[in-house]
A = this chain, B = another copy of it.
Amino acid sequence: MPERKRSATVPFRRRAQVRKSSRPAIDLGALNGHLGYFVRRLQVWVFQDFIRALSSLDISPAQFSVLVVISANVGLSQSELAEKLDIERARLVRLLHNLGRRGLTQRLQSSADRRTHALRLTAKGQKILTRAKALAAQHEARLIERLGASRHQVMMNSLRDF
């Protein structure tokens, strides 16, 4: 996609014709020493690919993580979920509001503590999540392909208990 206008056959380049080739390669400089920069780039790629992968279901990465954790821990409270996913409680409220509006999640009154809501997926939510997991798996396959299986494994092990 990046347009290559580098004609290798030009014998003598007149000054007026020397175009962008005067800056052949841009140096990242000190960024080369910062892992965070590359992590950021990877993360952006992952999000873009993930969003595209689940675009047919209109499920964002954050929404996916919420659905997955609710599904794996039925009845947990918003505070617990927020803490586990490192989301602000205030932000989780809006996430759940949207998911609830779409009929994917439910907030049930907890008998023990009337402040808390016991979270669970609706039948529709479970169905959607099943499809979402399949699409997410395809995304992960692309990531593994892009990264190389061994590197993917290494990074997984390195980051799992970060």
Q: Is the CB of B162 within 8 A of A38?
A: yes
Q: How many copies make up the complex? A: 2
Q: Is the CB of B156 within 8 A of A86?
A: no
**A47-86, CB under 8 A of B: which get 1 and which 0?**
1001000000000010001001101111110001101101
- A26 CB to closest chain B CB (Å) equals 5
Please indicate the chain B residues that have their CB under 8 angstroms from the CB of A2 in the complex: 72-75, 83
Which one of B23, B31, B35 lies within 8 Å of A152 (CB-CB)?
B35
**Interface of A (DSSP majority class):** helix
Q: Is the CB of A35 within 8 A of B159?
A: yes
In the assembled complex, the Cα of A46 lies from the Cα of B159 at a distance in Å of 13
Q: Is the CB of A31 within 8 A of B155?
A: no
**A91-134, CB under 8 A of B: which get 1 and which 0?**
00000000000000000000010000000000000000000010
